[in-house]
Amino acid sequence: MTELAVAPAPSDFIRDVVAEDLRTGKHTRIVTRFPPEPNGYLHIGHAKSICLNFGIAHEFNGICNVRMDDTNPTKEETEYVDSIMADVYWLIDGWADKNLGGAPLYTSDYFDRLYQFAVELIAKGKAYVDDMTAEETDEFRRLGKASRFRNRPAEENRDLFERMKGGEFPDGTRTLRAKIDVNAPNVWLRDPVLYRIRHASHHHTGDKWCVYPMYDWAHTLSDYIEGITHSVCTLEFEVHRPLYDWILQALELSPPVPHQYEFARLNLTYTVMSKRKLIQLVNEKLVNGWDDPRMLTISGLRRRGVTASALRAFAYNIGITKYPGMTDMAVLDHTIRDEFNRTAERRLVVLHPLKVLLTNYPEGKVEELEAVNNPEDENAGRRKVPFSRELFIDAADFMETPPPKYFRLKPGGEVRLKYAYIIKCDEVVKDSSGNVTELRCTVDLDSKSGGATSNRKVKGTIHWVSAAKANDAEVRLYDRLFTAVEPDASGDFKSFINPHSLDVVTAKCEPALADATPEKRYQFERLGYFTLDPDSTATKQVWNRTVTLKDTWAKEAKRS
């Protein structure tokens, strides 16, 4: 099993529609799109959407456009465009052709055409310039009342709209509104605003414009312009769909026209997903930037060590529906472990070193013992691990007064050192304040792994490194960022930040780990999966714990 996570093509209600439209000949080539607003970094919820839209294009031989939905100059920045494209390419690379979507497109590149469409709508008597304030507009809409400017002659509307574009009027003084039905049951049909005045510099069009289209106008027509067949968005836009369809009909656009479909956005336990909250975490320095490995941003997940293929497998596992549920973070963890168990090479690393002296093992002797790189993959080969008189084991693998069912080292007890010998703890050395500083043990020389007399069983097997040959490395142990299942369910989500979400230790690593590369994932035996962080230098490795191993002992220990 070297092919990973190439799951069978998933099926869901949207793919069903796509397949049907192809079957009936309604469409001959599928075009989807992923339309982020460049006002923040992409998160795992966007990954779900990317996998859906690119997935459909990929499976049905179509294309998927990445389109910056940049109609609000006051919120959008080029930095975000760059991060978004980096994330999208990373996520789809090796799975769908990058050129499936090509270079990023921009709604702002269509501003001229969108403006012309608006002029057309005015000419058809289906839009008018309104002079009411934002507050008045809101109130009238709530009351279902018509604006007193609603019946302006088309020519006056045309003139006013042109002068809006010309910059004659200050921000907020006028809007262009669709003339639909001020009393419609669906509030989005109560003469929605199509254009507003914003004397602001735009990240992509500079100072060319001072009127900017609203989402519904821009998005619908951008879909049409690009020949989108299936415009897939999240549930909160469901009530916009009648407006989407109205716009296409009002302009009497020739078919085929796009159709909008909605699915439930991703909700995950123990995290927050809204851009507003993520940006707060960054700005208030509660995390170290957008790509902090504790963030559920795509860049954060990438830095943490999650692979694109694992993220895609996750998107596949959770499915697509209209039910707005809450997915357990355990599903993400499981998906990552599932892949890494098959692909990650094993290494011995001691996180919290406790010295062990083997009293009956010769001083100065070094044995090169053989270790399996990956028990799940024979092709991963073997390596040598040096063994000597002084070792480090993890402090958690020794207890002076252990609870029942503790299989590791204890005074007078025995344990197997992985790939090496069985040792017995004879003596516990402590400092003046009673802390254990060293263990004196004896080796059963007949118990060497792979040897003729190695068959003796002991209950526990622990990892270790040779003190003389070990290399130091910084290891960043990440845990979930929030302690509450739903941090934003009530109160201030920041009050649920996990104070132990990051623990930094200096670990002792076996020599073979020195050759590690950033692309590879490693399992530190019995501890978890780890990835080299970009903070690493030629002289110092920095490791991120992507996810722990499943730990049934922790559960057992909690019980007693």
Nearer to RNA, 121 or 292 (CB): 121
DSSP class per residue in 329-391: HHHHHHHHHHHHHHHPEEE-EESSEEEEEETTS-TT--EEEEEES-TT-GGG-EEEEEE-SEE
- Among 341, 442, 498, 536, indicate the residue that binds RNA (CB under 7 A): 341
Applying the rule CB under 7 A, the residues between 357 and 416 that interact with RNA are 374-376, 405-408, 416
Given the rule CB under 7 A, which of 150-158, 490-498, 534-542, 550-558 is the region that contacts RNA? 550-558
286 binds RNA (CB under 7 A): no
One-letter amino acid of 551: D
Q: Is 521 a catalytic residue?
A: no
State the nearest-atom distance from the C-beta of 227 to RNA, in Å. Answer: 19
Name the residue among 263, 323, 333, 264 with its Cα closest to residue 296.
Answer: 333
Applying the rule CB under 7 A, the residues between 502 and 541 that interact with RNA are 523, 525-526
Candidates 174, 190, 275, 303; catalytic one: 275
DSSP β-ladder status, 230-234 and 259-263: parallel
205 binds RNA (CB under 7 A): no
Given the rule CB under 7 A, which of 93-101, 162-170, 328-336, 514-522 is the region that contacts RNA? 328-336
Name the residue among 301, 380, 146, 114 with its Cα closest to residue 225.
Answer: 114
549 binds RNA (CB under 7 A): yes
Nearer to RNA, 227 or 319 (CB): 319
State the nearest-atom distance from the C-beta of 214 to RNA, in Å. Answer: 4
Secondary structure of 510-543 as H, E, C letters: CHHHHHCCCCCCEEECCCEEEEECCCCCCCCCEE
One-letter amino acid of 367: E
What is the residue whose two structure tokens read 């919820």?
45
Q: Is 165 a catalytic residue?
A: no
Applying the rule CB under 7 A, the residues between 67 and 106 that interact with RNA are 69, 71-72, 75
> Are 219 and 247 within 8 A, CB to CB?
no
State the nearest-atom distance from the C-beta of 323 to RNA, in Å. Answer: 4
Question: What is the Cα–Cα distance from 286 to 279, expressed in whole angstroms?
Answer: 10
Given the rule CB under 7 A, which of 93-101, 247-255, 468-476, 545-553 is the region that contacts RNA? 545-553
> Are 433 and 473 within 8 A, CB to CB?
no
Q: Is 37 a catalytic residue?
A: yes
- Among 59, 137, 428, 486, indicate the residue that binds RNA (CB under 7 A): 137
State the nearest-atom distance from the C-beta of 538 to RNA, in Å. Answer: 29
Question: How many Cβ atoms from other residues are within 10 Å of residue 132's Cβ?
Answer: 18
How far is the first Cα of the chain from the last one, in angstroms, to the nearest whole number? Answer: 39
Nearer to RNA, 450 or 534 (CB): 450
Applying the rule CB under 7 A, the residues between 436 and 455 that interact with RNA are 447-451, 454
219 binds RNA (CB under 7 A): yes
Residues with catalytic annotation?
37, 265, 275
